[in-house]
Amino acid sequence: MSFAVSITIVSATVNAESLLTVEPLSVADLRVFYENQDAASAPAAPPKSAIDSATLSAPLSTSTPTPTPTANTSRTAGDFQLTFSPALWMARVRANSSLNGATFTVDDDLGLNGYEPTLNGELSASWGVFYKVMATGWFFSTDATTTATTAGSFGSVNMSIGDQLSNSFSAAGAGCEFDVTLWQPFADQQTPWGQTIVNARNTATDGGYKADLRFKALAAVRWYSASLSVSDQTAGTNDSWSMDAVMPGIGAGIEIDFNLKGRIPWVESINMEATGGTGSNFTNGQYFTFVRAGVSAMFSPNCGVQFGYRLEDFKLDNNSAIFDGGVQGLFLGINVKF
């Protein structure tokens, strides 16, 4: 049924049929409706000037996050580096010696027991922490006037108890060492299938290790030279010997670095090391033994100080003269890195 009624109100015509006819809303219409409702209920965005003011007034973060190492970060590899380490070695000789006769203690019987300032130098070239070549050299000399406390012959010198003796001893050493790092227990570890297990807890503020412990093996070649002169002032006689030898050897060492950047003012790192070795040329029982132990502190990437103990012990034998002992003492020096 339909109605067609014309209603005229103030010259406006309305079709009644159109008022009674209702068309359903489409899905598109519903979507537009709800989108309009969400937009109307959302809070108004602050003006751009307000955002800028809030951003500028927020405090800036000044803390530096600790870097997290990844499998691609090599924390032990490094560039080629030269290190020069001159030191003053307060050394003394402790040894036995003979020359076609009785054996005397160089330090007690011959009175050569004083500590002498001795120059010692080391020059090393390293590739990261894995490989290092080092050249060493030192020279020691001492002399004394004493009264003989034992009788015996030293070559052509036939001393008696109470004779006045004037004696001197000198020794020198030089060598070359090559060492390689075998194990770093605190470092990132490699699995047999090539995967790197990162030790994130051992990470300093610069991304390196807080502590790096290393076990090393080394091969060495040493040259030793020594001479001893004995003069009996009472009898008016004197004699001396002089010998040298070259010997190969092997050794081992342990070393640990502490990274102190940002933790202790003026100190970047501390290194502790203990190294020893022995060798022989298998001639007349000649041998050598050396020990180095010390602590060094770096105040900058290029300069630091070192302190420790050093022993150079060796035996020389030329079938007529024998020297069996060494030179030892504390040292103090500097480290200069290039």
Question: In the block, which residue shows the tokens 């010696």?
Answer: 97
CATH number of 80-337: 2.40.128
Percent of the chain with pLDDT over 70: 77
Rg (CA), the chain: 42
Residue 284 has pLDDT above 70, yes or no: yes
**Which is higher by pLDDT, 16 or 214?**
214
Q: What is the DSSP letter of 100?
A: S
For residue 70, what pLDDT is reported? 47
Domain boundaries, the chain: 80-337
For residue 143, what pLDDT is reported? 96
Give the pLDDT mean for 59-77.
48
Least confident of 172-186, 192-206, 223-237, 285-299: 192-206
Give the pLDDT mean for 308-325.
97
In angstroms, rounded to a whole number, what is the distance separating the alpha carbons of residues 141 and 169? 6
Give the pLDDT mean for 63-79.
50
In angstroms, rounded to a whole number, what is the distance separating the alpha carbons of residues 40 and 128? 66
For residue 141, what pLDDT is reported? 97
For residue 34, what pLDDT is reported? 47
Q: Are 310 and 329 in contact (CB under 8 A)?
A: yes
**Mean pLDDT computed over every residue of the chain:** 83
Residue 25 has pLDDT above 60, yes or no: no
Residue 194 has pLDDT above 80, yes or no: no
Residue 21 has pLDDT above 70, yes or no: no
